[in-house]
Structure 1
Amino acid sequence: MSQAQERAFVDLAPRYLLDVPRHVAATSVHPDARIDPAAVYGREAPLVVEVGSGQGHAIVAAAASRPGDDFLAVEVFRAGLARTMLDADRVGAGNLRLVEANAPEVLETLLPEASVHEAWVFFPDPWHKSRHNKRRLVKPGFGAVVGRALRDDGMLRLATDWEDYAVRMREVLDAAPEFERAFAGEWAPRFDGRAMTAFERKGIAKGRSIRDLAYRRRSRV
């Protein structure tokens, strides 16, 4: 990390970064670990979670433009977390918190069941080589993982610039009993709340189509 990013962990982490009890690895979450969102943010408000927030461009922009909502960025790469904290501090996004942890463990363990209003998965690692596809985040079983954390009628929003991954995401979530499509046709329209990032522009410049998907959490009853 750069010196500025190193300083972010010293100066800003106490304000933005959640202290998570670990289990077997540095980014693991202890099975008994839980957070109370109302206590974390000091209020009751809709909670939006971005899984794999990268450098935080999308979630910082959203937190700054939606002060009435709370936001949680989940990421394992420290440089990205540092960049997110620096940008959040610059725009005064006091409604944003970060967690350095494996996303499935955050969704399955750390967050209370049905506590999330929206979950975002924007441009996850495509693991595009066929022998690496099994490492993808969105695969069979992901619906149950994210569905646990989402409230009834909560939204799951996804985007990718890899066509085969987009198709696979759609197949996985169409088959997940926890979800129903929240779009008509082949793909969802671009989510207005997703800020255009350098990563997305790079994909467009390479001639890739950006694919959005949107799913609604079915009622548990």
Structure 2
Amino acid sequence: MTDDLITDAELPVRRREIKSYVMRAGRMTDGQQRGLDEGWPKFGLLLADGLQDFDQVFGRQAPRTLEIGFGMGQSLLEMAKAAPEQDFIGIEVHRPGVGSLLNGLLTENISNVRVYSCDALEVLKNCVADASLDRLMLFFPDPWHKSRHHKRRIVQPEFAQLVRSKLKVGGIFHLATDWEPYAEYMLEVLNVAPGLVNLSAEQTWVPRPAERPVTKFERRGERLGHGVWDLKFTRVAD
């Protein structure tokens, strides 16, 4: 039954492109399956539906945040619960993670989240209007450690300009990584990106913002002595 719920993955691919993610198989728990069965019809959005009027989707005008790669969805769930006056759009390709978030939305009776399960770049290009987002978040993307794989990193000059085009003037691009070389790489790309200004006075990273929930993964890393680097950029007028 659930194989019919998310159909974008079955759409024909026009050309082979480098992906910034790897599809990973995973077993579904009963809760995750419930999320897909019951939650997807309520909260799911399809790439095939094209450009969205999110005021119509959510039934209101509200500050709007989009998160790329929400993982298992716990942080997005916490942020949406803490800010019911805001709307959130999450994108994730990992089906157990999608199911987990949807199950959480049902369990917590949260209604200010909508979900895509497909390529984030395609969603930004085809489904999100220019200058329509108040915030875009990218937390702990795959750093692609090996040099020959750096081309797979989602943070590239072209991506920076795509993000800029979707943010309102004054909108925030918030990134976080636990891999310092990737943090330095992000700074290298974004500090020279037209239309984006680093909110760090030192042009580096910012203290962890209170609005970003600390994940279990991050707590474990802290116990092991790992660091986390947050970066914030704002869109300025063209």
TM-score with structure 1 length normalisation?
0.91
- Among candidates 208, 213, 227, match of residue 209 of structure 1: 227
Mapped pair 1:52 → 2:79:
no
Contact 1:107–1:148 (CA under 8 A) maintained in structure 2: no
Deviation readout 1:100-152 (Å, 9 max, x if unpaired): 12111111221011110000011111111222111111122121111111111
What SS class does the counterpart of residue 72 from structure 2 fall into?
coil
Give, as a single letter, the amino acid of the residue that structure 2 aligns with 1:201: R
Taking only the aligned residue pairs, the percentage that are identical comes to: 38
For 1:218 and 1:72, locate their aligned partners in 2 and report how far apart those are by CA, in whole Å: 23
Query: Does the residue aligned with 1:61 lie in a helix, a strand or coil?
Result: helix
Count of aligned pairs between the two proteins: 210
CA-based RMSD? 1.3
Aligned positions of 1:153-192 closer than 5 A: 153-185=170-202, 186-192=204-210
Query: Does structure 1 conserve the Cα–Cα contact (< 8 Å) formed by 2:171 and 2:234?
Result: yes
- Deviation of 1:5 after TM superposition, in Å, equals 1.5
CA contact (8 A) 2:35 2:101 kept: no
The answer on 1:194 being equivalent to 2:192 is no
Query: Can you give the 5+ residue segments of structure 2 that lack an aligned partner in the other structure?
Result: 1-27
Deviations 1:61-115 (A, max 9, x none): 0100001100000111111110111112222221011111211111122101111
The structure 1 segments of at least 4 consecutive aligned residues displaced by more than 6 Å after TM superposition are none
1:133 maps to 2:150: yes
Distance 1:17 1:142 in 2: 24
Of 160, 170, 183, 1:143 maps to 160
TM-score (norm 2): 0.85
8 A contact 1:123–1:159 mirrored in 2: yes
Q: 1:202 deviation in Å?
A: 2.7
SS at match of 2:206: coil
Aligned partners of 2:124 and 2:162 also within 8 Å: yes
Letter in 2 for 1:140: P
Cα 1:91/1:3, change in 2 over 3 Å: closer
Aligned residue for 2:7? none
Distance 2:148 2:216 in 1: 28
Aligned partners of 2:155, 2:222: CA distance in 1, in Å? 22
> Structure 1: 5+ residue runs without aligned partners?
22-29
Separation in 1, partners of 2:195, 2:120? 18
Q: Secondary structure at the match of 2:157?
A: coil
The alpha carbon displacement at 1:2 in A equals 2.0
